Structure 1
Amino acid sequence: MIPAVEADRPEIEAFLDARLPRAMFPRANLAHYGMVSPGGAGGHRLAMRFWLQREGGAVTDVLGATAEGFLLPACPTGPWAAAAGALTGESVGALIGPAEEVAPLRAALGLGQAPGELDEVQPHFLLDLAALEVPGGPGRLVPFADAPEALVTGWLRDYFTETLGTPLDLAVVEAGRAFRQAAEAGSHAVLMEGDEALAMTGQNARLPSIVQIGGVYTPPALRGRHHARRAVALHLAEAQARGVTRATLFAAGPPAIRAYEALGFRRIGDWALCRFAAPQRVRPDGAAHG
């Protein structure tokens, strides 16, 4: 695989667009935070670097990495040996993407035994918003910027620890940052009934025609009342009103799966999330180390 440069960007965009929704994160990060050359510095922590595999002059695989070292593969032909060679010396903090790509890439990089904070495979879902039906119930959506900050930041902390396995001390820091970023971006909202907050929902990746749902949470005392289901549906209705036609997400457990299937989401595959306890350096012999 060869490092991509800015001149390759149109090809990369076209390739990732053709693979949506399985390539949402690298495509949305590229759209919102831009691209830097491998080895380059600066830019947003989610700015993208890419390596390309070509055959007959056409791009067959795209391997993306955020500036903070999260690998986001879009590699349908499985160029794992080439990917390992391209990443030698790189620091890897996580692998996120289709399970059938993350597993062999992780093995090729020698990361199979690296200690992780999160190591899960979750079902991946897609919904055509033409079929969306918003369930009845209490509450209206309020953007993070107008929501009770202390309460929602606490929810984000609990979401990070419960769903993503983030250590508590780090979750406290991440929750504050996540609230500020989401409030500024207008990407997340809270279902409110009067002064009572019922659930939160978010769009972790957004493109003109498709959004990736994430950050969905209901506090334990309010679960089982379909608040999160309504929050997600209302948020998707807002997206549909601005021209979005599809939504995708992955689900953390049976209650979430039931809620999303009730909204019409249908499974399209499996999604892998692997985040390491410490960044792992890829060595030439394929035996990565912290």
Structure 2
Amino acid sequence: MNWRPAQDNDLPAVQDLLHRHIESSMFLLINLRDHGLAGTAPKAVQLWVRGRAEDGVAGLTNDGSLLIQAGAATAEDWRQLQQLVDHRLAQTASQQQVGVLGETAQLRRYLAATGLDQRPKRLDRDEPGLALSLTELDLGSLDRPQLSGAVLHPLSAAPRPMLVQWRAAYHQEILGTPASEAVAVASQDIDSYLLRDSHRVLNIADRWVAMTGFNAQLPEVVQIGGVYTPPEQRGHGYARCALALHLKEARAAGVEQAVLFAAGEAAVRAYRAIGFQSIGGYSLVLFDHAPRPSTAEGEPAS
């Protein structure tokens, strides 16, 4: 089955496919919503459909990340897609493929079929997925002495240098970003979060103790990303508290569901404590020849 460029009349079927697999399609949905099919922004996508629009889609962002949602794609389909990706990248002489994001089984088949499983990587991680209907949000675990007086604030309430430092540490610890790049990328991230009002910071007893946020948002669902507690504040439930309060805020605004992909088993246990249930996995691969993108696309919650 051949891939072809998506057209405007494909979008209803594409969006239906992505909504049916929303837990692993948030970034494609957000990018299409914000930029359409012909955008020039870094996260705008060149979108291809696999035969009929409902059979699968793939989008290459202008900054070189491939996003896939094509569960029935064959090895030959993936090889044909990579030819299109390589041709598109060749049209921009300075651009390289930064990485690929998608549901774990699909992404592993894509890498094996194209030989990209042999390319050196900066980051190569399969992340367990979790989802929560916000009607099931469990706030009971917040009733602990160490969380007494916890207040969630917009990022603008906290010192920006501290936030950049936290975010740079997250980049190095979770995303494998080199120290030489981490502060610059973190600074761009924090500016983006402030502009979008997408993240929050938790204060307890006049101490800033954790950060949480949504790295993708639709009216009915949010995807959590960038949850962080500095090492000296860990082990007290601060990140769990920050996330729960942020989800409570989102629920009051009409959001119905939250999804996330966790960086480790400790994070999974923390999210289960507020009601999250396991779903399929998601994978993020970043090739080591390319600079880290300046946004949080594809990152785990923590």
Q: TM-score, normalised by structure 1?
A: 0.89
The alignment status of 1:265 with 2:261, answered yes or no, reads no
C-alpha displacement at 1:48, in angstroms? 1.9
Q: Secondary structure at the match of 1:44?
A: coil
Q: 1:46-94, CA deviations, whole angstroms, 9 ceiling, x for partnerless residues? A: 112211012xx55211112211111111101124422322332244211
Partner of 2:56: 61
Partner of 1:243: 254
Partner of 2:104: 99
Q: Secondary structure at the match of 1:192?
A: strand
Partner of 1:205: 216
Task: State the superposition RMSD in angstroms.
Answer: 1.7
Partner of 1:13: 15
Q: Give me the whole-angstrom Cα distance separating, in 1, the residues matched to 2:74 and 2:6.
A: 16
Q: Give me the whole-angstrom Cα distance separating, in 2, the residues matched to 1:81 and 1:192.
A: 52
Amino acid corresponding to residue 56 of structure 2 in structure 1: D
State the aligned residue count. 273
Residues 266-281 of structure 1: matches in 2 within 5 Å?
Answer: 266-279=277-290
Percent sequence identity over aligned pairs = 37
Partner of 1:87: 82
Larger mean CA deviation between 218-227 and 145-154 belongs to 145-154
**Using a 3 Å threshold, how does the CA distance of structure 1 residues 8 and 58 change in structure 2: closer, same or farther?**
closer
Unaligned residue ranges in structure 1 (runs of 5+): 37-41, 280-290
Structure richer in strand, relative to its length: 1
Q: 1:109-148, CA deviations, whole angstroms, 9 ceiling, x for partnerless residues? A: 2211111111111111111110102223242111112221
Q: Give me the whole-angstrom Cα distance separating, in 2, the residues matched to 1:278 and 1:246.
A: 36
Unaligned residue ranges in structure 2 (runs of 5+): 90-95, 291-302
Q: TM-score, normalised by structure 2?
A: 0.86
Q: Secondary structure at the match of 1:216?
A: coil
Partner of 1:191: 202
**Using a 3 Å threshold, how does the CA distance of structure 1 residues 33 and 186 change in structure 2: closer, same or farther?**
farther
Residues 206-245 of structure 1: matches in 2 within 5 Å?
Answer: 206-245=217-256
Residues 105-124 of structure 1: matches in 2 within 5 Å?
Answer: 105-124=110-129
Partner of 1:48: 45
Q: Secondary structure at the match of 1:208?
A: coil
The alignment status of 1:151 with 2:162, answered yes or no, reads yes
Partner of 2:72: 77
Q: 1:159-205, CA deviations, whole angstroms, 9 ceiling, x for partnerless residues? A: 00001111111111110000000000011110012531110001011
Q: Give me the whole-angstrom Cα distance separating, in 2, the residues matched to 1:200 and 1:20.
A: 25
Partner of 1:284: none
C-alpha displacement at 1:103, in angstroms? 0.5
Contact 1:126 1:266 in 2 (8 A): yes
Contact 1:123 1:269 in 2 (8 A): yes
C-alpha displacement at 1:99, in angstroms? 0.5
Q: Give me the whole-angstrom Cα distance separating, in 1, the residues matched to 2:278 and 2:27.
A: 18
Structure richer in helix, relative to its length: 2
Partner of 2:93: none
